[in-house]
Structure 1
Amino acid sequence: MARQDKSDKRGIQERGKQVFGSRIARLIFASNLAGLAILIVGAMVLNEMRASFVVAKKQDLVGQAQVFSNLLAEGATFGQPQPVMDEDLARATLADLSLPVSVRGKVYSADGELIGDSYFLSDRVIVSALPPIQEPSQLSKIGRSLSEWAVSTFGALIPNRGGDAVRTQTFQQEFTVALGGGEAASQRFNDRGQRIISVSVPVQHVSAVVGVLTLESNDIDDIIRAERAALIPFIGVAVLVAMITSGLLTVGIASPLRRLARAADDVGSGTTQTLDLPKVTRRRDEIGALANSMQQMTEALFERITSNERFAADVAHELKNPLTSIRSAVETAERVKDNPEAMQKLHKVIAQDVGRLDRLITDISNASRLEAEITRVPTETLNISRFVEDIVSTYEHLALDGGRATVAFRDETMGAGLRVRGREGPLGQVIRNLIDNALSFSPETGTVTVRLEQGRVGPQTTALISVEDEGPGIPEDKLEKIFDRFYTDRPKGSAFGKNSGLGLSIVQQIATTHMGRVWAENRSEGGARFVVELPAI
């Protein structure tokens, strides 16, 4: 049982390291909690809120003090030319004001002597209810600590606009301003340690100051504390939502990327050949698109590796045949040295095999160079009609030399000016390979026709390049097989070793890399037709 508990704890620790060890996970948590931290700090500091409360309370007390000062001036002052304040009438007027519990009124004579205090005149007893004896909750302790830390840390960084509106000064300074006929307001702490807002105004008879009325309010801290407590549920909900969203983002982003990285490492180490992540690839977001792209890239990579392996095996097989023939001819020549006629035949066989080897090696080298060229050379826009016509024109010497079929070009696009996006070198090799292949099957007096037409596949306009010959045609069961590498099934009488079987395979490869296709078909009037279809711009 203990071993199981240790295993569970170890599993929790490992998962915690995976989550918080991820840079993306940390970024997600940090970005979500940064704004929340600012909200909490701002709510705890409450500097702006306190400033507005202090200013509002000051304005309220000033208004009340002015009204009460006028009442005292009318009902408790008299005398000419030296006005005075009747202390008994002043106390009675102050007692009749019925001030709120949080407001305390005091009347002073011009000499600074206290005449009346509303707390004592109304027989009010200051009572503070004691809270029940209980241990504060953990949440209360955390909230109080956070509030004190925020106030102590950030309070000095934020201008105290409340303090600017109501200055901190002693009562004596406030009394001196009021005795001079002005209004004075200040904030300070009373003898019970409470923050108070105090306003002092002169009590005047005509223009003579006969006393000072002071109103004090001690409910600022209670109001701020209540506002702060009201924010706690919202902060708690905000923290909970931030944690949930951070967790969901971590599960939805960091974890799939981690699985994708592990799968890529498995492919790189040779453990597996495919990215088997069906849940990730089915996602309809950027991570799903990335997983699909990586899966397609991996499949293409292994397809390329498999293709290269097959190509190497085919090359070895094709090279072994002429080498075997040459070795056999050399061994036979050792035994027939005295037979000149036999030696001549063997020399001819060896020469043919050497020519065949040279042809194979040249075509294999060209095929390898072509594959590298396709991946490196950028594409360009080509006027396909002019491009094909220029290539066909290089075969005009055949008609002059005689002994071979002629090559003719037919543009049947009616001047459409079709343009394709491709690489000039590889596309030129496509057309030359098809023409050379057609010439090898055509009779000496025949004609190879290169035709350009405009086609369409759905909304896409295409350029159709067809090469037709007047030869024997292609067996129906070989129309697709002829595009295989090293396929050289030729009619009787063809020159031995003149063809490596790579030409049509190269044509198909180039057409595919240009987002096109190629196929072969037999003409009704005899001969074969090869068609290359390329997307037009």
Structure 2
Amino acid sequence: MITRNRVISRLTLKIFAVNGLALVMLAFGLFYLGQYENNLIKTEQKTLERQAHIYAGAIAETAQVRGPMIRRGERGARILKFDRLARFPARKMIRRLGQTTTSRIRLYDFDGQIMGDSDWLAGPVGVIETGPSSHRTRFLKMPVTASLDFIVDVLPSSLNLDYYPTQEKTSMTGFMYPDVQNALANMPSASAWWKNDMEGKKNMVLSAAVPVKSMKGVIGVVYLTRSGEGIINAMRQVQRDILMIFLISLGFTFLLSLYLSGAIARPLKKLSRSAERVQNNFGRGEKIPDLSKRNDEIGDLSLSLKSMTDALSLRLDSIESFAADVAHEIKNPLTSLRSAVETLSIIKSDDDRKRLMSVILHDVNRLDRLITDISKSSRLDAELSREDLEHVDLRPMLESMAQYYNAGLSLPVNMNIGVNGVESRLGQVFDNLLSNAQSFSDTIKISAEKQGRSWHITIKDNGGGIPENKLDAIFNRFYSERPTSERFGEHSGLGLAICKQIIEAHDGEIYADNIMDENQNKIGAQFTVIMRSV
């Protein structure tokens, strides 16, 4: 296993990416405010058009006259009776209306010639065009506001508007404005335009044209224009607000991601490095950090790794101990064999030779039995890990073994002794226990009792019992406490150790105890196997 030393871990980057995804979507919202902006423009256009309708009606009522008008054409001039607008009353009305609004009001006659403009002032020297004020209030912006405005200015606009027609000083006709042309054709019209101000800054202009009507038709056009700076400012304010929310959220997201990185990525990295040190040191001398106080999945992971490391250390210790015990147990018969073989060459008597050959054969059989049991014990864990546990009823097994070993049997009536396990392995346990009891006693009794949610299976004998200080040691490998009448070396001392290994692999317990009479004298031994009931 290789732990890569990165300045920022991939998990930290993923945390930043996931937390920042929603903010990125919010930021993209800055580019999709076109619909909102279009609605603002349409609302302003409708307002401006309604205002133009009102002004057109007022002018038609106050400035409309009927009289002769000279119409010049290719065939010469003609005098016609025609409804028209009186110039001076119309201009006077335009000036008065212009004082009530911020819009610029222009009036054109039915020929498209301008008759009045709210930006004109009449004086002794004639008409003076004042134009809109170019004065702008300047103030020092805060650095944050200036930064936001800079970002907003960089954002592309979704509006696709034409530039407002430029009026030449020598041209006073209204036909240069599309809205006026539509109004002269008796079609009210409203538009939005781009226009550069005196400082070269692009601004929006809203326009609306409405026909001034008489009973006989269109006699003029009221043309209103208004700066769309309010819409621009409103859109800029929305963009600034979204951008401010984005930046604040980004800051919180960054801090939250750092916290999550410290709470998740760093402990995992710490566990990973500890696991690597355990691997390099074969589980010796290295401790997995205890993060159980977190009370979360990482804490559970640390406990699992700690338990695994402890189990690995125990297994390595067990392997070392097993190897040492095997070497010791094999060395004894080998030493005996070596001594017998060396002695055999110098013995002259045939009877002594036969006795030595008997010793050699006994030691060879002992080695064979020992190696066979060692092989079974060493393969047991691996075999148990590959075998699936299934429901096993121990009643038929115990009844069959009681008959084979001629043992007494006491089982619950009409009740299955159900456990989860591997039937062949459990049979091996009870066979070893009964065989061991038979070697010490001629009376054996098997009993089973359910206590709570567990089955307690007990095998009793009436032998000499077990030394009190050896009740646990008898389950150690190669420990042998045999009857004095039995020939040495007939058993490897692995039987009870294998029994314990199998029962613990089934999440059960096995222990030994002595049977006492009323005077506290040992009258036998009993082995109890405890397994969970199913």
TM-score range, shorter chain: 0.7 to 0.9
- Does 2:221 correspond to 1:212? yes
% identity of equivalent residues: 33
The 1-side partners of 2:468 and 2:295 are apart by 45
Shift of 1:54: 1.4
State the match for 2:136 in structure 1: 129
In structure 1, the residue corresponding to 2:219 is in which secondary structure? Answer: strand
Structure with the higher fraction of residues in strand conformation: 2
Query: What are the superposed Cα offsets for residues 432-482 of structure 1, whole Å, 9 maximum, x if unpaired?
Result: 221221122122xx2x222222122xxxx1122222222222222211111
Query: What are the superposed Cα offsets for residues 201-244 of structure 1, whole Å, 9 maximum, x if unpaired?
Result: 22222462222222223222222223333444323311211211
The 1-side partners of 2:462 and 2:106 are apart by 124
CA 1:425–1:98: 2 relative to 1, 3 Å: farther
Shift of 1:385: 2.7
Task: Tell me which amino acid in the other structure corresponds to 1:454.
Answer: K
In structure 2, the residue corresponding to 1:282 is in which secondary structure? Answer: helix
State the match for 1:63 in structure 2: 50
Shift of 1:100: 6.7
Shift of 1:50: 1.5
CA 1:31–1:476: 2 relative to 1, 3 Å: same
**1:348-497 equivalences in 2 (<5 Å):** 348-386=358-396, 388-389=397-398, 392-393=399-400, 396=403, 398=404, 406-412=406-412, 414-443=413-442, 446=443, 448-456=444-452, 461-497=453-489
Query: What are the superposed Cα offsets for residues 395-442 of structure 1, whole Å, 9 maximum, x if unpaired?
Result: 64x5xxxxxx51344322x43434322222322222222122112212
Larger Rg: 2
The 1-side partners of 2:120 and 2:239 are apart by 33
Runs of 4+ with deviation above 4 angstroms: 98-102, 121-125, 136-142, 166-171
Task: Tell me which amino acid in the other structure corresponds to 1:31.
Answer: V
Bigger mean CA offset, 201-210 vs 312-321:
201-210
Task: Tell me which amino acid in the other structure corresponds to 1:113.
Answer: Q
Which of 40, 44, 48 matches 2:27?
40
Which of 205, 208, 226 matches 1:199?
208
- TM-score of the superposed pair, with normalisation by structure 1: 0.82
In structure 1, the residue corresponding to 2:451 is in which secondary structure? Answer: strand
The 1-side partners of 2:102 and 2:46 are apart by 16
Shift of 1:306: 1.0
Which of 267, 271, 292 matches 2:303?
292
Shift of 1:125: 4.9
In structure 1, the residue corresponding to 2:134 is in which secondary structure? Answer: coil
State the match for 1:500 in structure 2: 492
Bigger mean CA offset, 27-36 vs 316-325:
27-36
Which of 507, 510, 528 matches 2:525?
528
Conserved in 1, the CA contact under 8 Å of 2:333 and 2:366?
yes
- Does 2:258 correspond to 1:247? yes
State the match for 1:12 in structure 2: none
In structure 2, the residue corresponding to 1:95 is in which secondary structure? Answer: helix
The 2-side partners of 1:242 and 1:473 are apart by 72
Conserved in 2, the CA contact under 8 Å of 1:105 and 1:118?
yes
Conserved in 2, the CA contact under 8 Å of 1:515 and 1:534?
yes
State the match for 1:319 in structure 2: 330
Which of 286, 306, 313 matches 1:302?
313
Query: What are the superposed Cα offsets for residues 477-507 of structure 1, whole Å, 9 maximum, x if unpaired?
Result: 2111111111101221123222111111111
Conserved in 2, the CA contact under 8 Å of 1:85 and 1:211?
yes
Conserved in 2, the CA contact under 8 Å of 1:44 and 1:228?
no
- Does 2:78 correspond to 1:73? no
- TM-score of the superposed pair, with normalisation by structure 2: 0.83
Task: Tell me which amino acid in the other structure corresponds to 2:63.
Answer: A
Task: Tell me which amino acid in the other structure corresponds to 2:432.
Answer: N
Across the aligned residues of Structure 1 and Structure 2, the Cα RMSD in angstroms comes to 2.9
Query: What are the superposed Cα offsets for residues 25-46 of structure 1, whole Å, 9 maximum, x if unpaired?
Result: 2212222233223322323653
Query: What are the superposed Cα offsets for residues 512-533 of structure 1, whole Å, 9 maximum, x if unpaired?
Result: 1211111111234632211111
Conserved in 2, the CA contact under 8 Å of 1:449 and 1:467?
yes
Shift of 1:139: 5.0
Bigger mean CA offset, 74-83 vs 208-217:
74-83
Q: Which runs of 5+ in 1 are unaligned?
A: 1-16, 399-404
CA 1:231–1:89: 2 relative to 1, 3 Å: farther
Query: What are the superposed Cα offsets for residues 175-203 of structure 1, whole Å, 9 maximum, x if unpaired?
Result: 22222222212111236242112222222
Q: Which runs of 5+ in 2 are unaligned?
A: 68-80, 123-129, 166-175, 518-522
In structure 2, the residue corresponding to 1:335 is in which secondary structure? Answer: coil
In structure 1, the residue corresponding to 2:177 is in which secondary structure? Answer: helix
**1:137-156 equivalences in 2 (<5 Å):** 143-144=148-149, 146-151=151-156, 155=158
Which of 318, 341, 344 matches 2:351?
341
The 2-side partners of 1:440 and 1:294 are apart by 44
Bigger mean CA offset, 315-324 vs 274-283:
274-283
Shift of 1:148: 4.7
In structure 2, the residue corresponding to 1:520 is in which secondary structure? Answer: strand
Conserved in 1, the CA contact under 8 Å of 2:192 and 2:207?
yes
Conserved in 2, the CA contact under 8 Å of 1:274 and 1:295?
no
The 1-side partners of 2:135 and 2:50 are apart by 28
The 2-side partners of 1:184 and 1:82 are apart by 25
In structure 2, the residue corresponding to 1:510 is in which secondary structure? Answer: helix
- Does 2:192 correspond to 1:187? yes
The 2-side partners of 1:87 and 1:277 are apart by 98
The 1-side partners of 2:286 and 2:115 are apart by 92
Which of 36, 39, 43 matches 1:52?
39
Bigger mean CA offset, 494-503 vs 307-316:
494-503
The 2-side partners of 1:441 and 1:483 are apart by 17
Query: What are the superposed Cα offsets for residues 310-354 of structure 1, whole Å, 9 maximum, x if unpaired?
Result: 011111111111111122222222332x22333333222222222
- Does 2:341 correspond to 1:330? yes
Shift of 1:276: 3.6
Task: Tell me which amino acid in the other structure corresponds to 1:286.
Answer: E
Shift of 1:137: 7.4
Task: Tell me which amino acid in the other structure corresponds to 1:248.
Answer: Y
CA 1:239–1:256: 2 relative to 1, 3 Å: same
In structure 2, the residue corresponding to 1:523 is in which secondary structure? Answer: strand
Shift of 1:364: 0.8
- Does 2:87 correspond to 1:87? yes
- Does 2:237 correspond to 1:226? yes
Count of equivalent residues: 489
